[in-house]
Protein backbone atom coordinates (compact mmCIF):
# COMPACT_ATOMS: atom_id res chain seq x y z
CA UNK A 1 0.00 0.00 0.00
CA UNK A 2 1.34 3.44 -0.92
CA UNK A 3 1.60 5.80 1.99
CA UNK A 4 2.27 9.43 2.83
CA UNK A 5 4.14 10.59 5.90
CA UNK A 6 2.89 13.69 7.68
CA UNK A 7 5.74 15.12 9.76
CA UNK A 8 4.29 17.00 12.67
CA UNK A 9 5.98 20.25 13.64
CA UNK A 10 3.34 21.10 16.23
CA UNK A 11 0.63 22.42 13.95
CA UNK A 12 -2.96 22.36 15.10
CA UNK A 13 -4.12 20.72 11.87
CA UNK A 14 -1.79 17.71 11.76
CA UNK A 15 -4.59 15.16 12.05
CA UNK A 16 -6.71 17.03 9.59
CA UNK A 17 -3.97 16.80 6.95
CA UNK A 18 -3.78 13.02 7.35
CA UNK A 19 -7.56 12.72 7.19
CA UNK A 20 -7.74 14.82 4.05
CA UNK A 21 -5.11 12.65 2.36
CA UNK A 22 -6.92 9.50 3.41
CA UNK A 23 -10.15 10.83 2.01
CA UNK A 24 -8.35 10.60 -1.37
CA UNK A 25 -7.92 6.86 -0.68
CA UNK A 26 -4.23 7.19 0.10
CA UNK A 27 -3.01 6.03 3.49
CA UNK A 28 -1.31 8.74 5.56
CA UNK A 29 0.32 8.51 8.94
CA UNK A 30 1.63 11.11 11.34
CA UNK A 31 5.01 11.15 13.07
CA UNK A 32 6.45 13.80 15.36
CA UNK A 33 9.48 15.50 13.77
CA UNK A 34 11.74 14.22 16.56
CA UNK A 35 10.55 10.64 16.36
CA UNK A 36 11.50 9.87 12.79
CA UNK A 37 14.64 10.19 10.67
CA UNK A 38 15.69 9.88 7.03
CA UNK A 39 16.78 6.25 7.45
CA UNK A 40 13.35 5.22 8.73
CA UNK A 41 11.61 7.25 6.03
CA UNK A 42 13.50 5.36 3.33
CA UNK A 43 12.94 1.99 5.01
CA UNK A 44 9.22 2.60 5.28
CA UNK A 45 9.04 3.47 1.59
CA UNK A 46 6.86 6.57 1.89
CA UNK A 47 5.75 7.90 -1.48
CA UNK A 48 5.47 11.47 -0.26
CA UNK A 49 6.03 13.67 2.77
CA UNK A 50 4.05 16.58 4.14
CA UNK A 51 5.55 19.02 6.64
CA UNK A 52 2.81 20.45 8.85
CA UNK A 53 2.50 23.97 10.13
CA UNK A 54 3.62 24.90 13.62
CA UNK A 55 3.60 27.81 16.02
CA UNK A 56 7.32 28.61 15.80
CA UNK A 57 9.58 30.77 13.72
CA UNK A 58 12.43 28.90 11.97
CA UNK A 59 15.04 31.12 13.62
CA UNK A 60 13.78 30.49 17.19
CA UNK A 61 16.31 28.57 19.16
CA UNK A 62 13.78 25.99 20.20
CA UNK A 63 11.96 25.71 16.89
CA UNK A 64 11.61 22.19 15.49
CA UNK A 65 13.99 21.39 12.65
CA UNK A 66 14.70 18.34 10.52
CA UNK A 67 17.64 16.75 8.76
CA UNK A 68 17.94 18.74 5.45
CA UNK A 69 18.94 15.48 3.77
CA UNK A 70 15.22 14.72 3.63
CA UNK A 71 15.00 17.10 0.66
CA UNK A 72 17.55 14.99 -1.24
CA UNK A 73 15.88 11.60 -0.83
CA UNK A 74 14.01 11.94 -4.10
CA UNK A 75 10.68 11.70 -2.22
CA UNK A 76 8.25 14.54 -3.02
CA UNK A 77 7.72 16.96 -0.12
CA UNK A 78 4.93 19.45 0.47
CA UNK A 79 5.56 22.02 3.19
CA UNK A 80 2.59 23.80 4.72
CA UNK A 81 2.90 27.17 6.52
CA UNK A 82 5.75 26.65 9.03
CA UNK A 83 6.65 23.55 6.98
CA UNK A 84 6.91 25.75 3.88
CA UNK A 85 9.19 28.23 5.66
CA UNK A 86 11.27 25.40 7.08
CA UNK A 87 11.68 23.89 3.64
CA UNK A 88 12.87 27.26 2.26
CA UNK A 89 15.31 27.66 5.15
CA UNK A 90 16.62 24.08 4.86
CA UNK A 91 17.15 24.50 1.13
CA UNK A 92 19.19 27.70 1.58
CA UNK A 93 16.50 30.38 1.32
CA UNK A 94 15.57 33.02 3.88
CA UNK A 95 12.57 33.65 6.06
CA UNK A 96 11.50 37.13 7.10
CA UNK A 97 9.19 38.34 9.80
CA UNK A 98 7.13 41.52 9.97
CA UNK A 99 3.85 42.30 11.68
CA UNK A 100 2.91 44.42 8.67
CA UNK A 101 3.01 41.39 6.38
CA UNK A 102 1.05 39.07 8.64
CA UNK A 103 -2.12 37.59 7.20
CA UNK A 104 -4.86 35.83 9.08
CA UNK A 105 -8.03 34.36 7.67
CA UNK A 106 -9.51 34.09 4.20
CA UNK A 107 -7.16 35.63 1.67
CA UNK A 108 -7.24 35.87 -2.10
CA UNK A 109 -4.29 34.03 -3.60
CA UNK A 110 -3.13 34.28 -7.23
CA UNK A 111 -1.82 31.07 -8.76
CA UNK A 112 0.69 30.27 -11.52
CA UNK A 113 0.84 27.09 -13.59
CA UNK A 114 1.94 24.15 -11.44
CA UNK A 115 1.05 20.47 -11.17
CA UNK A 116 0.06 21.29 -7.59
CA UNK A 117 -2.59 23.72 -8.83
CA UNK A 118 -4.08 21.72 -11.70
CA UNK A 119 -7.78 22.49 -11.67
CA UNK A 120 -7.37 25.54 -9.40
CA UNK A 121 -8.48 28.85 -10.98
CA UNK A 122 -6.04 31.75 -11.40
CA UNK A 123 -7.27 33.28 -8.16
CA UNK A 124 -9.04 31.73 -5.25
CA UNK A 125 -9.58 32.05 -1.49
CA UNK A 126 -7.13 30.33 0.86
CA UNK A 127 -6.76 30.25 4.64
CA UNK A 128 -3.69 32.11 5.88
CA UNK A 129 -2.27 32.32 9.38
CA UNK A 130 1.27 33.67 9.50
CA UNK A 131 3.62 36.51 10.37
CA UNK A 132 6.78 34.95 8.96
CA UNK A 133 7.16 34.55 5.21
CA UNK A 134 9.70 33.27 2.70
CA UNK A 135 11.70 36.37 1.79
CA UNK A 136 14.48 34.81 -0.35
CA UNK A 137 13.81 31.74 -2.42
CA UNK A 138 16.26 28.85 -2.24
CA UNK A 139 18.23 28.19 -5.39
CA UNK A 140 16.30 26.31 -8.05
CA UNK A 141 12.88 27.31 -6.60
CA UNK A 142 10.30 29.57 -8.19
CA UNK A 143 7.24 31.38 -6.90
CA UNK A 144 4.00 29.72 -7.95
CA UNK A 145 1.50 31.81 -5.99
CA UNK A 146 1.27 35.18 -4.28
CA UNK A 147 -1.23 37.30 -2.36
CA UNK A 148 -1.41 41.07 -1.95
CA UNK A 149 0.73 40.88 1.21
CA UNK A 150 2.76 37.76 0.62
CA UNK A 151 5.09 37.66 -2.37
CA UNK A 152 5.69 33.94 -1.92
CA UNK A 153 2.37 32.31 -1.07
CA UNK A 154 3.70 29.13 -2.70
CA UNK A 155 6.99 27.95 -4.20
CA UNK A 156 8.26 24.90 -6.00
CA UNK A 157 11.25 23.14 -7.40
CA UNK A 158 9.59 20.79 -9.88
CA UNK A 159 12.77 18.84 -10.69
CA UNK A 160 13.21 17.86 -7.05
CA UNK A 161 9.44 17.59 -6.50
CA UNK A 162 9.56 20.04 -3.58
CA UNK A 163 6.55 22.27 -2.94
CA UNK A 164 5.72 24.76 -0.25
CA UNK A 165 2.50 26.67 0.45
CA UNK A 166 2.15 29.48 2.96
CA UNK A 167 -1.61 28.87 3.32
CA UNK A 168 -3.42 25.86 4.76
CA UNK A 169 -4.86 23.66 1.99
CA UNK A 170 -6.22 21.21 4.58
CA UNK A 171 -8.88 23.55 6.01
CA UNK A 172 -12.14 23.88 4.15
CA UNK A 173 -11.81 27.68 3.97
CA UNK A 174 -9.15 27.07 1.31
CA UNK A 175 -11.61 26.53 -1.47
CA UNK A 176 -9.35 24.45 -3.75
CA UNK A 177 -7.22 23.07 -0.91
CA UNK A 178 -8.47 19.50 -1.22
CA UNK A 179 -7.78 19.67 -4.93
CA UNK A 180 -4.18 20.65 -4.20
CA UNK A 181 -3.68 17.81 -1.73
CA UNK A 182 -5.17 15.44 -4.30
CA UNK A 183 -2.75 16.73 -6.94
CA UNK A 184 0.15 16.27 -4.56
CA UNK A 185 -0.61 12.66 -3.66
CA UNK A 186 -1.87 11.50 -7.04
CA UNK A 187 0.00 13.54 -9.68
CA UNK A 188 3.22 14.40 -7.87
CA UNK A 189 3.71 11.41 -5.54
CA UNK A 190 1.86 9.10 -7.93
CA UNK A 191 0.27 7.13 -5.11
CA UNK A 192 -2.09 4.29 -5.90
CA UNK A 193 -5.56 4.91 -4.52
CA UNK A 194 -5.74 1.77 -2.48
CA UNK A 195 -6.87 2.89 0.95
CA UNK A 196 -10.49 1.93 1.54
CA UNK A 197 -12.49 0.26 4.25
CA UNK A 198 -13.40 -2.79 2.14
CA UNK A 199 -9.75 -3.70 1.78
CA UNK A 200 -8.98 -2.70 5.34
CA UNK A 201 -11.66 -5.03 6.68
CA UNK A 202 -10.53 -7.92 4.48
CA UNK A 203 -6.80 -7.59 5.18
CA UNK A 204 -7.25 -6.98 8.91
CA UNK A 205 -9.52 -9.99 9.28
CA UNK A 206 -6.97 -12.13 7.40
CA UNK A 207 -4.12 -10.76 9.50
CA UNK A 208 -5.86 -11.60 12.78
CA UNK A 209 -6.93 -15.02 11.50
CA UNK A 210 -3.25 -15.87 11.22
CA UNK A 211 -1.84 -13.95 14.19
CA UNK A 212 -4.51 -14.94 16.67
CA UNK A 213 -5.09 -18.53 15.54
CA UNK A 214 -5.86 -20.64 18.61
CA UNK A 215 -5.64 -17.62 20.96
CA UNK A 216 -8.37 -16.43 23.29
CA UNK A 217 -9.17 -12.74 23.26
CA UNK A 218 -11.22 -10.72 25.75
CA UNK A 219 -12.93 -7.48 24.79
CA UNK A 220 -14.80 -5.04 27.00
CA UNK A 221 -17.84 -4.09 24.97
CA UNK A 222 -19.56 -0.84 25.87
CA UNK A 223 -21.96 -0.58 22.98
CA UNK A 224 -20.14 2.58 21.82
CA UNK A 225 -18.95 2.85 18.23
CA UNK A 226 -15.29 1.88 18.71
CA UNK A 227 -15.65 -1.20 20.88
CA UNK A 228 -18.59 -2.36 18.75
CA UNK A 229 -16.67 -2.16 15.48
CA UNK A 230 -13.63 -3.81 17.07
CA UNK A 231 -15.85 -6.63 18.35
CA UNK A 232 -17.43 -7.38 14.99
CA UNK A 233 -14.12 -7.21 13.14
CA UNK A 234 -12.40 -9.56 15.56
CA UNK A 235 -15.31 -11.98 15.70
CA UNK A 236 -15.09 -12.30 11.93
CA UNK A 237 -11.43 -13.25 12.34
CA UNK A 238 -11.48 -15.57 15.34
CA UNK A 239 -15.14 -16.42 15.95
CA UNK A 240 -15.85 -17.82 19.38
CA UNK A 241 -12.28 -17.31 20.57
CA UNK A 242 -13.34 -13.72 21.05
CA UNK A 243 -15.33 -13.22 24.23
CA UNK A 244 -16.98 -9.86 24.80
CA UNK A 245 -17.89 -8.80 28.29
CA UNK A 246 -20.61 -6.19 28.41
CA UNK A 247 -20.98 -4.68 31.85
CA UNK A 248 -24.44 -3.16 32.11
CA UNK A 249 -24.13 -0.77 35.03
CA UNK A 250 -27.82 -0.01 34.94
CA UNK A 251 -27.16 3.60 33.92
CA UNK A 252 -27.60 3.14 30.18
CA UNK A 253 -30.28 4.73 28.05
CA UNK A 254 -33.73 3.15 27.83
CA UNK A 255 -33.55 -0.39 26.40
CA UNK A 256 -29.90 0.10 25.45
CA UNK A 257 -28.62 -2.98 27.25
CA UNK A 258 -31.14 -5.15 25.40
CA UNK A 259 -30.26 -3.50 22.10
CA UNK A 260 -26.56 -4.19 22.59
CA UNK A 261 -27.27 -7.80 23.54
CA UNK A 262 -29.63 -8.31 20.62
CA UNK A 263 -27.17 -6.77 18.15
CA UNK A 264 -24.05 -8.64 19.19
CA UNK A 265 -25.35 -11.90 20.56
CA UNK A 266 -28.51 -12.15 18.48
CA UNK A 267 -27.60 -10.64 15.14
CA UNK A 268 -23.85 -11.25 14.92
CA UNK A 269 -23.78 -14.42 17.01
CA UNK A 270 -20.85 -13.04 19.00
CA UNK A 271 -19.74 -14.82 22.13
CA UNK A 272 -20.95 -12.13 24.52
CA UNK A 273 -21.49 -12.15 28.24
CA UNK A 274 -23.81 -9.49 29.61
CA UNK A 275 -23.34 -8.69 33.24
CA UNK A 276 -26.40 -7.08 34.75
CA UNK A 277 -24.71 -5.19 37.52
CA UNK A 278 -27.30 -2.41 37.93
CA UNK A 279 -28.25 -3.23 41.54
CA UNK A 280 -24.60 -3.54 42.54
CA UNK A 281 -23.77 -0.07 41.13
CA UNK A 282 -26.90 1.41 42.65
CA UNK A 283 -25.91 0.02 46.02
CA UNK A 284 -22.50 1.66 45.80
CA UNK A 285 -24.05 4.97 44.71
CA UNK A 286 -26.62 5.10 47.51
CA UNK A 287 -26.44 8.40 49.34
CA UNK A 288 -23.67 9.79 47.09
CA UNK A 289 -24.36 13.36 45.98
CA UNK A 290 -21.03 14.68 44.76
CA UNK A 291 -20.47 14.38 40.95
CA UNK A 292 -16.79 13.40 41.07
CA UNK A 293 -17.48 10.84 43.77
CA UNK A 294 -20.15 9.28 41.50
CA UNK A 295 -17.69 9.04 38.62
CA UNK A 296 -14.98 7.52 40.79
CA UNK A 297 -17.29 4.93 42.30
CA UNK A 298 -18.55 3.88 38.88
CA UNK A 299 -15.02 3.71 37.43
CA UNK A 300 -13.69 1.59 40.26
CA UNK A 301 -16.72 -0.69 40.38
CA UNK A 302 -16.57 -1.16 36.63
CA UNK A 303 -13.02 -2.49 36.79
CA UNK A 304 -13.94 -4.77 39.68
CA UNK A 305 -16.96 -6.25 37.88
CA UNK A 306 -14.98 -6.68 34.66
CA UNK A 307 -12.15 -8.44 36.47
CA UNK A 308 -14.47 -10.73 38.38
CA UNK A 309 -16.46 -11.71 35.32
CA UNK A 310 -13.51 -12.24 33.02
CA UNK A 311 -11.86 -14.28 35.77
CA UNK A 312 -14.83 -16.63 35.65
CA UNK A 313 -14.41 -17.11 31.91
CA UNK A 314 -10.99 -18.72 32.07
CA UNK A 315 -7.64 -17.61 30.80
CA UNK A 316 -7.19 -15.16 27.94
CA UNK A 317 -4.13 -14.49 25.82
CA UNK A 318 -5.00 -10.99 24.67
CA UNK A 319 -7.07 -8.02 25.67
CA UNK A 320 -8.73 -6.26 22.71
CA UNK A 321 -9.41 -2.54 22.79
CA UNK A 322 -11.09 -0.01 20.55
CA UNK A 323 -8.17 2.45 20.52
CA UNK A 324 -8.39 4.75 17.50
CA UNK A 325 -5.73 6.78 15.69
CA UNK A 326 -6.33 10.17 17.36
CA UNK A 327 -5.75 8.47 20.75
CA UNK A 328 -2.46 7.09 19.48
CA UNK A 329 -1.33 10.38 17.97
CA UNK A 330 -2.41 12.54 20.89
CA UNK A 331 -0.75 10.38 23.47
CA UNK A 332 2.52 9.75 21.75
CA UNK A 333 2.58 11.29 18.31
CA UNK A 334 2.15 8.06 16.52
CA UNK A 335 5.07 6.19 17.93
CA UNK A 336 4.18 4.97 21.35
CA UNK A 337 2.06 1.99 22.20
CA UNK A 338 -1.02 3.35 23.81
CA UNK A 339 -3.59 1.57 25.81
CA UNK A 340 -6.83 3.49 25.85
CA UNK A 341 -8.85 3.30 28.98
CA UNK A 342 -12.08 1.47 28.54
CA UNK A 343 -14.63 4.10 27.51
CA UNK A 344 -13.26 6.33 30.24
CA UNK A 345 -14.89 4.49 33.10
CA UNK A 346 -11.76 4.15 35.09
CA UNK A 347 -9.55 2.14 32.78
CA UNK A 348 -9.02 -1.57 32.65
CA UNK A 349 -6.33 -3.23 34.68
CA UNK A 350 -3.16 -3.77 32.71
CA UNK A 351 -1.94 -6.76 34.61
CA UNK A 352 -4.64 -9.37 34.58
CA UNK A 353 -2.42 -11.78 32.85
CA UNK A 354 -2.62 -10.86 29.18
CA UNK A 355 0.36 -11.39 26.96
CA UNK A 356 -0.62 -8.44 24.81
CA UNK A 357 -3.17 -5.95 23.61
CA UNK A 358 -5.00 -6.16 20.28
CA UNK A 359 -6.09 -2.84 18.79
CA UNK A 360 -7.72 -3.40 15.40
CA UNK A 361 -8.73 0.27 14.96
CA UNK A 362 -5.39 1.74 15.95
CA UNK A 363 -4.81 3.26 12.51
CA UNK A 364 -8.28 4.64 11.88
CA UNK A 365 -9.90 8.01 12.35
CA UNK A 366 -13.43 8.11 13.75
CA UNK A 367 -15.08 8.62 10.37
CA UNK A 368 -13.14 5.62 9.05
CA UNK A 369 -14.25 3.52 12.03
CA UNK A 370 -17.83 4.42 11.18
CA UNK A 371 -17.35 3.56 7.51
CA UNK A 372 -15.79 0.26 8.53
CA UNK A 373 -18.66 -0.44 10.92
CA UNK A 374 -21.15 -0.01 8.11
CA UNK A 375 -19.11 -2.27 5.81
CA UNK A 376 -19.17 -4.90 8.53
CA UNK A 377 -22.96 -4.66 8.70
CA UNK A 378 -23.41 -2.87 12.02
CA UNK A 379 -26.74 -1.03 12.27
CA UNK A 380 -26.59 2.59 11.10
CA UNK A 381 -28.10 3.81 14.37
CA UNK A 382 -25.24 2.23 16.29
CA UNK A 383 -22.48 3.40 13.98
CA UNK A 384 -23.72 7.01 13.97
CA UNK A 385 -24.90 7.16 17.56
CA UNK A 386 -24.18 10.25 19.58
CA UNK A 387 -21.48 10.10 22.21
CA UNK A 388 -22.55 8.70 25.54
CA UNK A 389 -20.45 9.18 28.67
CA UNK A 390 -18.91 6.14 30.32
CA UNK A 391 -20.55 6.84 33.70
CA UNK A 392 -23.85 7.00 31.82
CA UNK A 393 -26.92 8.56 33.35
CA UNK A 394 -25.09 9.10 36.62
CA UNK A 395 -23.80 12.36 35.15
CA UNK A 396 -27.34 13.32 34.16
CA UNK A 397 -29.03 12.94 37.53
CA UNK A 398 -28.31 15.59 40.12
CA UNK A 399 -28.51 14.61 43.76
CA UNK A 400 -28.84 11.03 44.90
CA UNK A 401 -29.23 8.39 42.21
CA UNK A 402 -32.24 6.15 42.76
CA UNK A 403 -33.98 3.55 40.63
CA UNK A 404 -36.99 5.83 40.34
CA UNK A 405 -34.88 8.72 39.04
CA UNK A 406 -33.04 6.51 36.56
CA UNK A 407 -36.38 5.38 35.13
CA UNK A 408 -37.65 8.97 34.85
CA UNK A 409 -34.57 10.23 33.05
CA UNK A 410 -34.52 7.17 30.76
CA UNK A 411 -38.15 7.67 29.75
CA UNK A 412 -37.80 11.41 29.25
CA UNK A 413 -34.63 10.94 27.24
CA UNK A 414 -36.29 8.36 24.98
CA UNK A 415 -39.18 10.75 24.30
CA UNK A 416 -36.84 13.63 23.56
CA UNK A 417 -34.85 11.50 21.12
CA UNK A 418 -38.06 10.38 19.40
CA UNK A 419 -39.28 13.94 19.03
CA UNK A 420 -35.90 15.12 17.74
CA UNK A 421 -36.13 12.46 15.05
CA UNK A 422 -39.80 13.24 14.28
CA UNK A 423 -38.94 16.92 13.90
CA UNK A 424 -35.89 16.08 11.72
CA UNK A 425 -33.65 17.84 14.23
CA UNK A 426 -31.44 14.87 15.09
CA UNK A 427 -28.93 15.83 12.38
CA UNK A 428 -28.65 19.47 13.45
CA UNK A 429 -27.45 18.60 16.94
CA UNK A 430 -24.22 16.85 17.91
CA UNK A 431 -25.57 15.53 21.18
CA UNK A 432 -28.93 15.79 22.91
CA UNK A 433 -30.38 14.24 26.00
CA UNK A 434 -32.46 14.69 29.13
CA UNK A 435 -31.17 15.54 32.60
CA UNK A 436 -33.08 14.98 35.79
CA UNK A 437 -32.64 17.87 38.20
CA UNK A 438 -33.16 17.13 41.85
CA UNK A 439 -35.52 20.05 42.07
CA UNK A 440 -39.17 19.54 42.81
CA UNK A 441 -41.90 22.01 42.07
CA UNK A 442 -45.64 22.24 42.25
CA UNK A 443 -47.85 21.32 39.34
CA UNK A 444 -51.45 20.51 38.65
CA UNK A 445 -52.84 17.47 36.90
CA UNK A 446 -56.60 17.20 36.48
CA UNK A 447 -57.99 18.27 39.84
CA UNK A 448 -54.91 17.29 41.73
CA UNK A 449 -51.93 19.17 42.94
CA UNK A 450 -48.65 17.46 42.08
CA UNK A 451 -45.15 17.93 43.39
CA UNK A 452 -42.69 16.44 40.95
CA UNK A 453 -39.20 16.59 39.51
CA UNK A 454 -37.84 18.74 36.70
CA UNK A 455 -36.45 17.45 33.43
CA UNK A 456 -33.92 19.63 31.65
CA UNK A 457 -33.53 19.05 27.94
CA UNK A 458 -30.04 19.68 26.60
CA UNK A 459 -28.97 19.83 22.98
CA UNK A 460 -25.63 21.08 21.71
CA UNK A 461 -23.97 21.65 18.38
CA UNK A 462 -20.21 21.33 18.19
CA UNK A 463 -17.31 20.10 16.08
CA UNK A 464 -14.99 18.90 18.79
CA UNK A 465 -16.90 19.04 22.11
CA UNK A 466 -14.25 21.41 23.48
CA UNK A 467 -16.64 24.27 22.88
CA UNK A 468 -20.33 23.92 22.09
CA UNK A 469 -23.34 26.06 21.27
CA UNK A 470 -26.80 25.24 22.53
CA UNK A 471 -28.90 24.16 19.57
CA UNK A 472 -31.54 26.56 18.33
CA UNK A 473 -34.29 23.93 18.26
CA UNK A 474 -37.70 24.78 16.83
CA UNK A 475 -40.27 25.58 19.52
CA UNK A 476 -42.60 22.92 18.08
CA UNK A 477 -40.09 20.16 18.82
CA UNK A 478 -39.52 21.43 22.35
CA UNK A 479 -43.24 21.80 22.89
CA UNK A 480 -44.02 18.26 21.78
CA UNK A 481 -41.23 16.80 23.87
CA UNK A 482 -42.32 18.82 26.91
CA UNK A 483 -46.00 17.83 26.58
CA UNK A 484 -45.19 14.21 26.16
CA UNK A 485 -42.71 14.11 29.02
CA UNK A 486 -45.10 15.72 31.52
CA UNK A 487 -47.95 13.49 30.34
CA UNK A 488 -46.13 10.21 29.97
CA UNK A 489 -43.38 10.23 32.59
CA UNK A 490 -44.79 9.81 36.03
CA UNK A 491 -43.18 12.10 38.58
CA UNK A 492 -42.25 14.94 36.22
CA UNK A 493 -44.05 18.27 36.56
CA UNK A 494 -41.83 20.60 34.64
CA UNK A 495 -39.55 20.62 31.59
CA UNK A 496 -36.90 23.26 30.88
CA UNK A 497 -34.51 23.75 27.99
CA UNK A 498 -30.86 24.47 28.76
CA UNK A 499 -29.61 27.48 26.79
CA UNK A 500 -26.06 27.57 28.08
CA UNK A 501 -23.09 27.17 25.81
CA UNK A 502 -19.73 25.61 26.62
CA UNK A 503 -17.88 27.46 28.06
CA UNK A 504 -18.90 28.45 30.65
CA UNK A 505 -21.19 25.42 31.04
CA UNK A 506 -20.10 21.88 30.10
CA UNK A 507 -22.11 19.60 27.85
CA UNK A 508 -23.01 17.20 30.64
CA UNK A 509 -24.51 18.53 33.84
CA UNK A 510 -22.15 16.68 36.16
P1 LIG B 1 -18.38 17.91 28.87
O2 LIG B 1 -19.48 17.65 29.84
O3 LIG B 1 -17.02 17.72 29.46
O4 LIG B 1 -18.55 16.79 27.73
O5 LIG B 1 -18.51 19.22 28.17
C6 LIG B 1 -17.85 16.76 26.53
C7 LIG B 1 -18.12 15.42 25.88
O8 LIG B 1 -17.55 14.36 26.67
C9 LIG B 1 -18.56 13.47 27.09
N10 LIG B 1 -18.25 13.10 28.47
C11 LIG B 1 -17.76 11.92 28.85
N12 LIG B 1 -17.47 10.81 28.14
N13 LIG B 1 -16.79 9.73 30.12
C14 LIG B 1 -17.01 9.73 28.79
O15 LIG B 1 -16.76 8.70 28.15
C16 LIG B 1 -17.07 10.79 30.90
O17 LIG B 1 -16.87 10.76 32.11
C18 LIG B 1 -17.57 11.95 30.22
N19 LIG B 1 -17.94 13.17 30.64
C20 LIG B 1 -18.36 13.86 29.54
C21 LIG B 1 -19.86 14.22 26.96
O22 LIG B 1 -20.96 13.34 26.81
C23 LIG B 1 -19.60 15.08 25.76
O24 LIG B 1 -19.80 14.35 24.56
Q: Say what the pLDDT of residue 11 is.
A: 87
Indicate if ligand 1 lies below 6 Å from the C-beta of 344: yes
389 lines ligand 1 (CB under 6 A): yes
Distance in Å from the first CA to the final CA of the chain: 46
Per-residue pLDDT band for 218 (boundaries 50, 70, 90) equals: very high
Q: Does the beta carbon of 15 sit less than 6 angstroms from any atom of ligand 1?
A: no
Instruction: Give the residue, by CA position, lying nearest to ligand 1 atom 18.
Output: 389
Mean pLDDT of 212-228: 95
Is the per-residue pLDDT at 214 higher than 50? yes
**Percentages (nearest 5) of helix, strand, coil residues in the chain:** 40, 25, 40
Integer Cα distance of 278 and 154 in angstroms: 60
- Ligand 1 atom nearest the C-alpha of 387 is 24
CA distance 395 to 415: 19
pLDDT > 70? residue 351: no
Predicted confidence (pLDDT) per residue in 55-84, tens digit? 999 999 989 999 999 999 999 999 999 999
For the Cβ of 296 lying below 6 angstroms from any atom of ligand 1, the answer is no
Q: What is the pLDDT of residues 203-212, one digit of tens each?
A: 999 999 999 9
Q: How confident is the model at residue 345 (pLDDT cuts 50, 70, 90)?
A: very low
Give the pLDDT mean for 115-128. Answer: 97
- The pLDDT > 70 percentage for the chain reads 96
Q: Return mean pLDDT, the chain.
A: 93
The DSSP string of 68-133 is GGGGGSS--EEEETHHHHHHHHHTT-EEEE-GGG-EEEEEEEEE-S-GGGTT--SEEEEEEEESEE
Q: Say what the pTM is.
A: 0.84
Task: Please tell me the predicted confidence (pLDDT) of residue 329.
Answer: 81
pLDDT at 350: 56
Q: How far from 218 is each of 1, 256, 260, 306, CA to CA, in Å?
A: 30, 22, 17, 10
DSSP letters spanning 417-483: HHHHHHTT-TTT-SEEEEEEEEEEEEEEETTEEEEEEEEEEEEEE-SSSSSBEE----HHHHHHHHH
- The residue that leads in pLDDT, 350 or 431, is 431
Q: How far is CA 38 from the centre of its chain?
A: 30
Per-residue pLDDT band at 463 (split at 50, 70, 90): confident
Ligand 1 contacts CB of residue 390 (under 6 A) = yes
**Collapsing DSSP states into helix, strand and coil, what is residue 494?**
strand
- Over range 31-40, report the average pLDDT: 96
Which atom of ligand 1 has the smallest separation from the CA of 430? 24
Give yes or no for residue 349 having a pLDDT over 60: no
- Contact between 220 and 231 under an 8 Å Cβ cutoff? The reply is no
Q: What is the mean pLDDT of residues 135-153?
A: 97
Which residues are tagged catalytic?
81, 168, 170
- In this model, does residue 438 exceed pLDDT 70? yes
What is the average pLDDT across 351-364? Answer: 86
| Range 361-385 average pLDDT | 94
Is residue 465 in contact with ligand 1, taking CB distance under 6 Å? yes
CA of 104 to the centre of ligand 1 (A): 32
Pocket test for ligand 1, best of 251, 295, 389 (most atoms within 8 A of CB): 389
**Mutate-to-test residue for ligand 1 from 387, 413, 459, 461, highest number of ligand atoms within 8 A of CB:** 387
Amino acid sequence: MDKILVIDFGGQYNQLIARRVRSEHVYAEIAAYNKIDCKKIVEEGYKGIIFTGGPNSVYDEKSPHFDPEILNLGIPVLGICYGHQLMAYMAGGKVGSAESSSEYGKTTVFFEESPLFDGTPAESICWMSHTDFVSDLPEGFKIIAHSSKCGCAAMSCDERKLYGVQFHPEVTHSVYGQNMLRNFVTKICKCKLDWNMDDYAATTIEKYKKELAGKKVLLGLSGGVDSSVAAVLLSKAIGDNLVCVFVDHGLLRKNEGDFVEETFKGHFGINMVRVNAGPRFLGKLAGVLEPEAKRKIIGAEFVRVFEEESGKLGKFDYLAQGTIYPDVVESGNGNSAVIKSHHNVGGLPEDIGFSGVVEPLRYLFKDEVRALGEKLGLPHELVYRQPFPGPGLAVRITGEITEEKIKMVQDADAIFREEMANGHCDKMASQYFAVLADVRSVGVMGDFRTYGYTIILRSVTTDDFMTAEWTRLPFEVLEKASNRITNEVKGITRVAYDISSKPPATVEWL
